[in-house]
Amino acid sequence: MKVHIYSIFIFEKKRMYLSMRNQNNNNSEIYGAMFLDPITINFYTGIANNILEKSYPTLSLIDITDMIDICIKNMYLNNYTEYPEVIKKNNTCYFFSPYPIINFMSDDLYYEILKNSLESNEVIEKYMNIFKEFKNNIPFELTHVDKINFYSIDYLVKLSKQDEVIYSYNQTKLTPTLKLTKNLFKKHMSELADYLIKTKNFNICLSTDLITSPNLNASYWCKKNEFLFLFDNDLSNVRMCNDVHFINSISYLLNQKYLQTPDTLKNKKIVSEFLKSL
């Protein structure tokens, strides 16, 4: 089978590099050429501009509530009715975030955290009701979808040593900035560990090489063939990808990350014990 790959690298008005690769079964030929003359540079710049004019953004800005609507109402309710076997068999949902997921907290723990984070009883009740409503969708989701969450070991250990842990969400419609004492964080980890053990389709993959820092609070939520969401601690700034090829590329990378991770970092019992030790 022959494969031809062409790449163009343009330094505007200065130089252009053309790369070509011919792959024929196990034989590969690579050719590259640098052009400095303005005629060639302008010609290929025109080709690049023509491609850009026919292209569309890989990521589009959406509201956090739209993200929830897309994922839960459209995907889980509609698609499972129409294509249950395809969904069940093929699509794992991957999630990476610096902060441990809060969706599986008990109502009592979340209420405790809200009281520690907010002063107004009215606002506390508002977010408590939103939390309960959101949780009502989770059991249905997890009966059909395998979910894998990725967390950095180093960052979890760092959080566990802090006197106060802040899950910063910048006062969105769904979740306020949450302030956890060291004891509340320990309770959160304990509940997450219990949830991991009792939920068949939920897994946690720990990593020693995930990049996390206070200035890099990026989160990723990806499901093969269906969606990719990227967001930071400002949940009013959610980016969505509709390009299925890009979505599946990210899904593939995350799947490879999970498969290549040692069993000691993804075994339910071992991970659960680690979370409870924090």
Neighbours of 176 (CB within 10 A): 21
Cα–Cα distance for residue pair 86/204, rounded to 1 Å: 24
pLDDT at site 210: 60
Q: What is the pTM of this model?
A: 0.74
What pLDDT is attached to residue 138? 58
Distance CA 132, CA 136 (A): 6
Helix axes 182-198, 107-117, angle to 10 degrees: 160
Domain boundaries of the chain, sorted by first residue: 3-54, 59-277
Burial class (CB in 10 A: 0-12, 13-18, 19+), 276: middle
Element (H, E) at 85: helix 84-90
Per-residue pLDDT of the chain in tens (278 residues, 90 and over written 9)? 565 778 889 998 889 998 888 877 777 788 889 999 999 999 999 998 998 888 878 887 777 666 666 665 545 444 444 444 444 445 788 998 888 888 889 999 999 999 999 999 999 999 999 888 877 765 555 556 789 999 999 999 999 999 999 887 655 667 888 999 999 999 999 999 999 999 988 999 998 876 544 445 678 888 888 888 887 766 667 888 878 888 888 899 999 999 999 999 999 999 999 999 99
Please spell the DSSP secondary structure of 207-242, one letter per residue: ESS---BTTB--EEEEETTTEEEEE-S-TT-EEEE-
Task: Describe the strand order of the beta sheet including 227-231 as a list of residue ranges.
Answer: 59-62, 238-241, 227-231, 219-223, 92-96, 146-152, 202-207
Looking at residue 122, what is its pLDDT?
94
